[in-house]
Amino acid sequence: MLLRLFAPAPVTPSTSVKEVEKPATPKPAVKSTGNASSTKSNTKPVAATSAKAKGKYNIIAGSFKESQNADKEVQRFRQLGYSNARVVLNGGFYYVSLNNFATRDEALNYKLKLAEKNVQGWIKEFN
């Protein structure tokens, strides 16, 4: 699967990483009509964490100005099996991080494994 990526956003040295917290969205009440065709929504809000939570080297699969676009990408990657996917806010951009690592070498190895699966991304360091 080939994924379309956007160019990384420029980062100035004075930018800092902020944790993005999404308020829990209430689930709509579903009335039972006795009809088996009633459906439930399987969409869960994206739980974002700080880039410093595990490591400072992140594998970024996308960068967005709108948080809802980043949330959609995170949900898509989670459905593809990337359970560590999350949103990181930095410098006014919402980055889709697939995983993060303590060392650049670990991040590079993971990036190469992703490339074997035709998943593109880049390594971004968040201090």
Residue ranges and CATH numbers for the domains of the chain are 55-127 (3.30.70.1070)
Pick from 122, 99, 111: which is nearest to 9 by CA? Answer: 122
What is the structure's pLDDT at 108?
97
Q: What is the pLDDT along the chain (127 residues), one digit of tens a residue?
A: 445 445 444 444 444 455 454 444 444 443 333 444 333 334 454 545 544 457 899 999 999 999 999 999 999 999 999 999 999 999 999 999 999 999 999 999 999 999 999 999 999 998 8
| Integer Cα distance of 124 and 110 in angstroms | 13
What is the structure's pLDDT at 26?
40
Task: Say which DSSP state 8 is in.
Answer: P
Entry pTM: 0.62
